[in-house]
Structure 1
Amino acid sequence: MEDLHSYGWYAKRVAKYMPKGVFKPVPKRLWGGLAYLAIVIAGVLSISLFDWYPFLYLPISLILGASFAGMGFLGHEILHGTVVKKAWIRDLLGAIAFWPLSTGPKLWRKWHNLNHHIHTQHEENDPDSWPTLERLSRSKMIRWIYKLPLFIRAFFAFASLTIQFTAHSLKMFFAYIKDFKPKKQPEVWLQMILPWASWLGLLLLIGWEKWIFAFFIPLLIANLIVMGYISTNHRLNPLVPVNDPLANSLSVTVPKWVDYIHFNFSYHTEHHLFPGMSSKHYPLVKHHIKRLWPDRYHEMAMGKALVALWKTPRPYFDNRELIDPSRGNLYGSLGNGLNPEQIKAKKMDK
């Protein structure tokens, strides 16, 4: 932890090994988005227009949920400027890609591109970092929750992944809306209201039974997929005073076909090193990071990372360790004693 470096420090050393043109936008990524959009339109129309036994809609819901998530991953790329550069086209395409998740492009760039990327895993300034025990203990309800056994908390935490992205997006909207200039605020409001209005309008149009399969279940599935990645991106890493992506980020490994349909979202350390580079090039970035700093780089199979999340508590004790308040047990974080192969707790010193 004492030997931390900024993402610019790493980026400067990796960039000299990268081929020319890697920072140019890659508009071909939009073909994947067009495929997802066609699937979503076809799926919603199939459920809306045909009267089948309700549970026959479930396979379509699963496909819709996966497509909602895929569009969100592409929207993430678009709004980093790695697909198209022109601002109004970027915002338009980003709004369409994030439409199923009802997150506006201006809010996303403020919350994610600026605050999260610049202050990654900073205790106070990263809007996505998990808080310390000291901050959580200010709430009586939170103190009660953390008296429950760890496995019960883990169960409900994993169940909540089905709503976490949507809930956090709404929280970020109300946290940041006042940070926009008064002239910009109506546009930010509109970008939040229009998607929700369209989905609620669909409810009035097709009725709640079909709407559950056309939107509600797909939204839960999309949340689960997206949060499966986001929850592993940083929550096993320490809080840090310096935005060091090799210390504060985790890349997960998934089958190649999953990387293909998720636009290489698994390469998260690489993304924090080069957020303005298309994720198409992240495998090469990973190669050079592992060659230059093999002992610093954190990489784990997605399944193993999720198991580690299940077995460890979330509040931070001293920025480097995670604490289970109900038993006074401490767990290491990545780079600070956490061994995913054999997760063990130690008692907190009196």
Structure 2
Amino acid sequence: MSTPKFAVKAQSFHTELKRRVNTYFEEQRKKPTGNFNLYFKAIGFGVALVAVYVHLVFFTPALWLGIAESLVLGGLIAAIGFNVMHDGAHGSFSTNKVVNMMAAFSLNMLGGSSFMWNFKHNIIHHAYTNIDGVDDDIDIQPWLRMSSTQKKYKLHKYQHYYFWFLYSLLYILWIFVMDYQKYFKQKIGNMPLKKMEVKDHVVFWSFKFIHLIIFVGIPIYFAGFTAWLVGFLVTTLFAGLVISIVFQLAHTVEHTHFPMPSEEDGRLADEWAIHQLKTTANFATRNKLISMLVGGLNFQVEHHLFPKISHVHYPAISRIIKQTCREFNVEYIEYPKMRMAIASHVAYLRDMGRG
């Protein structure tokens, strides 16, 4: 399908919203990027990951402790992705471009590709959220039916039961399968991939090799194949489940929309900002522990409206966004508890599976 176009409104909700948020930062004399708390958290997660890795690989703990540490390692991988890589890739981690690049590069060290992520997430997903045929995040066919516009198969009747297993496979498939599919096809879904320069090819292959050495070669050499396999599977499956749940709760719940452009002119009914509000949901925003661990991605509405603002500012600007939504009569989707959002996601998958 061709790239959809958003409606243009005379009285733009987005223009007024940006004005109010910009005024907030000017009045508070704050920069929209990260602060000391974020940098301290990033260093803490990084040091913890190295410490757990070293103990697992070079000290080979007992089975029960090794499994527990592997779960922690998986959680730390997800936390670094949420807090460091994600902000860095959006250019909101720091005012320094080099620091942002280094933060985004953490994905390469963890086995992914920052080049692929930038195009898939920053460009496609953030621009065309929940649009079937464009947003690759809701294209899990034929295994899951994430939108009413997608074909329904018999197995989808049970997708609200087996999705947990599929979600756990995300990270391992991401680093060993999906990145390579995008690389060789030079496409993400139906969207042609941005042309890769020589340096992009070098970074892609060199860091894939480095990741294999660090997370496969060295552990097998020092801990043995069986111990590595158990630990690696526990780590990657847990990381995949956490990453999947956090991102899916943001867009595939009962109250979010899945708009499609007009067949006549390819236009969507709403302007971009309202489209983001209709397709995005928050969860557990008053839970400071969850907010800290998931890098503010439970404030997904704020993130989608202002992706270049660091997540450390989301609680403050959420009040501005809610007030503006009330004045413009725009729905602001939010689940008070994480368990409520999970229940809504399960219910949504059940509804999609039943057609």
* Fold conserved between structures, TM > 0.5: yes
CA shift digits 1:156-201 (9 cap, x unpaired): 1122221224435642552366222353334334344432343221
Whole-angstrom distance in 2 between the partners of 1:265 and 1:133: 25
Q: Where does residue 102 of structure 2 map in the other structure?
A: 92
The residue correspondences of 1:200-279 to structure 2 (distance < 5 A) are 200-205=216-221, 206-212=223-229, 214-236=231-253, 237-240=256-259, 241=268, 242=270, 243=272, 244-253=275-284, 255-279=287-311
Identity among equivalent positions (%) equals 18
Please say if residues 282 and 300 of structure 2, whose CA atoms lie closer than 8 Å, have aligned partners that are also in contact: yes
The residue correspondences of 1:1-350 to structure 2 (distance < 5 A) are 8-9=14-15, 11-20=17-26, 21-26=29-34, 28=36, 29-73=38-82, 74-96=84-106, 99-100=109-110, 102-130=111-139, 132-133=147-148, 135-137=150-152, 143-146=153-156, 150=157, 152-168=158-174, 170-171=177-178, 173-175=180-182, 178=186, 179=193, 180-183=195-198, 184-205=200-221, 206-212=223-229, 214-236=231-253, 237-240=256-259, 241=268, 242=270, 243=272, 244-253=275-284, 255-294=287-326, 296-300=331-335, 301-313=337-349, 323-325=352-354, 328=355
Please say if residues 94 and 105 of structure 1, whose CA atoms lie closer than 8 Å, have aligned partners that are also in contact: yes
Q: In the TM superposition, what is the alpha-carbon distance from 1:36 to its structure 2 partner? A: 1.3
SS of residue matched to 2:283: strand
Whole-angstrom distance in 2 between the partners of 1:172 and 1:9: 36
Q: In the TM superposition, what is the alpha-carbon distance from 1:216 to its structure 2 partner? A: 2.6
Amino acid at match of 2:334: E
Q: In the TM superposition, what is the alpha-carbon distance from 1:121 to its structure 2 partner? A: 1.6
Whole-angstrom distance in 2 between the partners of 1:16 and 1:27: 18
Q: In the TM superposition, what is the alpha-carbon distance from 1:153 to its structure 2 partner? A: 2.0
SS of residue matched to 1:82: coil
- The number of equivalent residue pairs is 308
Whole-angstrom distance in 2 between the partners of 1:10 and 1:168: 38
CA shift digits 1:281-311 (9 cap, x unpaired): 1011111122222451000021111111112
Which is worse superposed, 118-127 or 201-210?
Answer: 201-210
Whole-angstrom distance in 1 between the partners of 2:230 and 2:60: 12
Unaligned runs of 5+ in 2: 1-5, 140-145, 187-192, 260-267
Normalising by structure 2, we get a TM-score of 0.76
Normalising by structure 1, we get a TM-score of 0.77
Whole-angstrom distance in 1 between the partners of 2:61 and 2:313: 44
Q: What CA RMSD, in Å, does the superposition of the two structures yield over aligned residues? A: 2.9
Whole-angstrom distance in 2 between the partners of 1:224 and 1:218: 10
Q: In the TM superposition, what is the alpha-carbon distance from 1:127 to its structure 2 partner? A: 1.5
